[in-house]
Amino acid sequence: MKRLALCLALVATPVLARETIGIYKGWGAFRDPDRCYAIARPVLANGRTGGFASVGTWPAKRLRESFHARLSLPRNRAATVTLAIGERRFPLVGSDRDVWAPDAATDHALVMAMRSGRSMSLSAVDPRHRPFADTYALAGAASAIDAATLACVDET
């Protein structure tokens, strides 16, 4: 129940507009009027809060299984953000807190890696040039991604 409350707290959409599809270990799958998405909080962020990782489908935008993360700290925009899953490394782009894949091919590759990985870590450097990382368990991620994608498949 605690994980469910954490997942619900992640989403900025009004609660009445959001439908819970399911909770899969540390990942939740949700649907709102514009999109369906799988979402989780980091399991390790050294006490920082506010970060999350998500994989969403937006039928009206023709986006399917698109990765997005909100870092637990603002980052130095001059420094890179890297997503590591096992031995794979993916560069991410974005603002000081929100990051995503630079292109569709990277998006697809990193979501596929999430499906078979055990954990993933987003590494960045804060504005004071101190490195930090947000680490996520991937147990349940594939099921949550599939559930969210299927919930919007009739609209794509």
Whether 125 has a pLDDT exceeding 50, the answer reads: yes
Domain ranges in the chain are 2-153
H/E segment holding residue 84? strand 81-85
Distance between CA atoms of 41 and 104, rounded to whole angstroms?
A: 24
CATH number of the domain at 2-153, out of 2.60.40.1880, 1.10.10.350, 3.60.20.10, 2.40.110.10? Answer: 2.60.40.1880
Distance between CA atoms of 32 and 60, rounded to whole angstroms?
A: 13
* pTM of the model as a whole: 0.84
Q: What is the mean pLDDT of the chain?
A: 87
Lowest mean pLDDT among 12-16, 122-126, 127-131: 12-16
Q: How far is CA 50 from CA 45, 65, 88, 98, in A?
A: 10, 22, 25, 11
| Residues paired with 127 in a beta bridge | none
How confident is residue 153, by pLDDT bands cut at 50, 70 and 90? confident
How confident is residue 7, by pLDDT bands cut at 50, 70 and 90? very low
| 31 vs 7, residue with greater confidence | 31
For 42-72, the pLDDT digits (tens) are: 997 677 778 999 999 999 888 899 999 999 9
H/E segment holding residue 143? helix 141-152
